[in-house]
């Protein structure tokens, strides 16, 4: 949150900095196609306006701290970055060639996806069912937003959400109960992030 807000404020204070950030970090699909694959990750650091950054950082505040406590900071960071990357990769693979995207929504949807998987695993308990229903309602609202609000990169949302679900699934299969669980979680999420790069290179 600190890094993202600091970058947003820097762009507000200096038009030259803002221009440099967009030119070098935004996900311009035609530049990604030209070999600048890192943009699928760095676009998550940029936001187009105050409401955009506030909405995403509030969502990060809601979904992030508890998950970070449970899986550890390295695993949480790897999940966040991998979700941003896979969201960007899906947006690149299925979006317009001239599309330019910014925002951390893909990463946020990755956290959303991880929590949805946890809630689904706990659906046999009253608390798990309640959490699953609440998250499902929020997911429905967010997926319907592109029908009413223009310029929302729904492909990045779906890609990020899928990354979160996939990583949480792999964590449950490979890390739960293991002595090096936190290290395994970090490696698993990192592999998904690397896979996002391969998707871009293959496309």
Q: In the chain, where do the E strands start and end? A: 27-28, 100-101
Tokens of 177: 């109960």
Residues, the chain:
203
| Dist. CA 40–CA 106, nearest whole Å | 10
Instruction: Name the active-site residue from 101, 105, 144, 172.
Output: 105
CA dist 176 and 160 (Å) reads 23
CA–centroid distance for 66 within its chain:
17
27 bridge partner residues: 101
157 classed as catalytic = yes
Cβ neighbours of residue 123 under 8 Å, at least 6 residues apart? 129, 132
Instruction: Give me the catalytic one of 14, 150, 157, 172.
Output: 157
The CA angle 86-105-135, to the nearest 5 degrees, is 100
**Tokens standing for 143?**
């997926």
What is the crossing angle of helices 154-174 and 73-94, to 10°?
140
Q: Tokens 């506030």 — which residue?
A: 54
Q: Which residues are catalytic?
A: 105, 157
């Amino acid at each position: 949150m600190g890094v993202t807000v600091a970058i947003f404020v820097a762009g507000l204070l200096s038009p030259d900095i803002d221009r440099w950030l967009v030119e070098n970090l935004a996900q311009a699909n035609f530049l990604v196609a030209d070999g600048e694959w890192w943009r699928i990750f760095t676009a998550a650091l940029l936001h187009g306006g105050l409401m955009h950054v506030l909405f995403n950082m509030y969502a990060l505040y809601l979904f992030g701290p508890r998950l970070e406590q449970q899986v550890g900071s390295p695993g949480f960071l790897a999940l966040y970055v991998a979700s941003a990357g896979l969201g960007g990769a899906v947006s690149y693979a299925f979006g317009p060639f001239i599309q330019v995207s910014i925002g951390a929504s893909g990463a946020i949807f990755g956290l959303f996806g991880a929590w949805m998987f946890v809630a689904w695993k706990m659906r046999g308990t009253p608390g798990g069912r309640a959490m699953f229903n609440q998250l499902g309602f929020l997911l429905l609202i967010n997926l319907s937003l592109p029908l009413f609000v223009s310029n929302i990169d729904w492909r990045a949302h779906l890609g990020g959400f899928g990354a979160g679900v996939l990583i949480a699934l792999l964590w449950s299969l490979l890390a739960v109960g293991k002595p090096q669980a936190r290290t395994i979680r970090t490696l698993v999420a990192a592999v998904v992030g690397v896979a996002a790069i391969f998707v871009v290179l293959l496309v």
